[in-house]
Amino acid sequence: MSDKGQQMDSDAQPPVGIDEWLERVRAGYQRIEPRQAYEAARAGDALLVDIRYAALRERDGLIPGALVVERNELEWRLDPQGSHRLPEATHHALRAIVICNEGYASSLAVHSLRQLGLHRATDLVGGFQAWRRAGLPVV
């Protein structure tokens, strides 16, 4: 008897590892560097969205003006059509810059937001740690 969990339908694609998937996801949009994100937020052209979990925020601090949204709530809070959306989630053209700790989880989060129609969503290259290394404001 064979293990159905390990069999693939003849039409199914072979499994993709996380590194390859991340590369494919990132190929679909332009990521942003810390200084560019800072300037876009300062100019009112972007909303910084910090998805790091509480322990990291407590340990390392916060980016002033960034909206804190736990990763598991992100899609519900930023979907302009959602019943649980935040006041900032007014339209699909919202330029949300998603920030995680090092810039990996944020890329996958952006993929999800783009599936919801937030076509300007992007993420911070290197995440919060790159922001901090760039000497940008942290409180």
Tokens of 137: 């404001």
Tokens of 5: 């969990």
Q: State mean pLDDT over 38-61.
A: 97
CATH number of the domain encompassing residue 45: 3.40.250.10
Q: Does residue 16 form part of some domain?
A: no
Question: What residue numbers bound the domain in which 83 lies?
Answer: 30-133
Distance, CA of 75 to chain centre = 10
What are the pLDDT digits (tens) for 83-123?
Answer: 999 999 999 999 999 999 999 999 999 999 999 999 999 99
Q: Does residue 77 form part of some domain?
A: yes
Q: Does residue 46 form part of some domain?
A: yes
Q: State mean pLDDT over 4-31.
A: 83
Total of domains in the chain: 1
Q: State mean pLDDT over 66-93.
A: 96
